[in-house]
Amino acid sequence: MRSSLTGLCLALLIPLSSSAAEPSFSEETVRQAVRSVEPVRKRSAKRWKAGPEYDHRYWIVVHASTKEQRTLLASMGLSIEEVQGDRVSGTAHAKDIALIKAKGFTVDEMVSLGDLAEKGFPAKDEAFHDYAEMTAVMKGLAAKNPGLVSMFSAGKAWQGRELWVLRFNSSASGAGPSSKPGVLFMGAHHAREHLSTEVPLMLAVHLAENRAKPEIKALLETRDIYIMPMVNPDGVEYDVETSQYRWQRKNMRVNPGGEIGVDLNRNYGYQWGGAGASDQPYSDTYHGPSAFSEPETQAIKKFVESRANIKTSVSYHSYGGLIFWPWSYSYDPIPNQEDLKVFKVVAGKMAALTGYVAEQSSELYASSGDTDDWMYSARGIFGFTFELEGGSFYPGAAAIGPAVKKNTAAALYLIGAAADLRAAAR
């Protein structure tokens, strides 16, 4: 995704005002971003050599009319991406498909991912950021905004790439402690969901660009904001580094049988290994050999546990136009009625700003070992998952502008509410 902010801003065809809820980007921001990106445009020559490109993976459409049936499909390895009535679409390995059929499900369509993959990097994708370009933009923001923005690594991914974090705090930097209410934004747990990197990255640009505006200044002076745009950098690079998109979801762990990857959003510790996750390493929903087995989820665990001030979090995914709250592992609601009200009201307000649908995660299907369930159960953090818009994993640059605009508005609301989420829900 050979890109710069120039490509992004050209893609923002809808007018953006300068209010707190409407992101805007000045020409100087664009010039600075371009200067920071250009030196790192050349892609790494490293390539993952093992195995065939698509490893017997398919896009399928299956009949399943209930959330219980959808959960069973996810447990058998189907990565569910679309639900339209009783038609469920997603990606699965050939072995998963055989099991799905053996369980009596009807598979209406089955197309090789190799046949669906786009060739090369089309012009419509020039606005997206790969790992090097994202890193350069983040470094540029930190360098241009000393005393407010700092950049540090939360750890390393499986292949050694840094998990970069931008911190916005007017009185603390790096790993320094803070008593201000904290908010964490994360993107790209799943490699092929590239829009989920753009939204938090552009949130960072918006905060830095508008730091002098009273409504933004008030947030920056009273909050501790962390932005990690790419949780799974190895998988992202693998997905985009050749002349074909690879539809990669998982990280790049090499499993004992040679299969690649663990689904990071099934690898967190709460209720790990339960519903909606597969124990088969070839499956897209493989939960890993143990809870927190992956360096990426270990890094987030350590990061969150060392920052008791974090009150709320957002994990961006794509696609679907949904906002989820826990539980994901169970169809039951969380037992604390006051907290449940917070989740419902806050998610509802963010849904009003985005046009998305807000619901408990397991209403779509149950999945265990996910980010939000662990955030809430282990740390008391009000964790939300956003399934962004776009209609596909590779929606083109035209999807970035609308997604950035509406999700920046929702993020600013959440940052403001973080001081007292229970009060915000009254």
For the annotated catalytic residues, the residue numbers are 387
Greatest CA span in the chain, whole angstroms? 61
Q: Please list, in sequence order, all residues whose beta carbon lies within 8 angstroms of the beta carbon of residue 241, skipping any fewer than 6 positions away.
A: 43, 44, 47
Residue 333 CB coordination number (10 Å): 16
DSSP state of 264: G
Q: How many CB atoms lie within 10 A of CB 48?
A: 16
Report, in angstroms and rounded to the nearest whole number, the Rg of the chain calculated over CA atoms: 20
Cα 369 → chain centroid: 15
> Which of 137, 299, 167, 278 has its CA nearest to residue 232?
299
CA distance 233 to 238: 9
Tell me which amino acid residue 115 is.
D
Q: How many Å apart are CA 302 and CA 372, to the nearest integer?
A: 15
Give the helix/strand (H/E) hosting 5.
Answer: helix 5-11
Compute CA 194 distance to the chain's CA centroid, rounded to the nearest angstrom.
8
The dihedral region occupied by 77, where left means phi > 0, alpha psi between -120 and 50, and beta the remainder, is left
The residues near 280 (Cβ < 8 Å, ≥ 6 apart) are 77, 93, 95, 96, 286
Closest CA to 266 of 289, 247, 282, 246: 289
Alpha helices by DSSP H, 27-163? 27-37, 67-75, 94-102, 113-116, 131-144
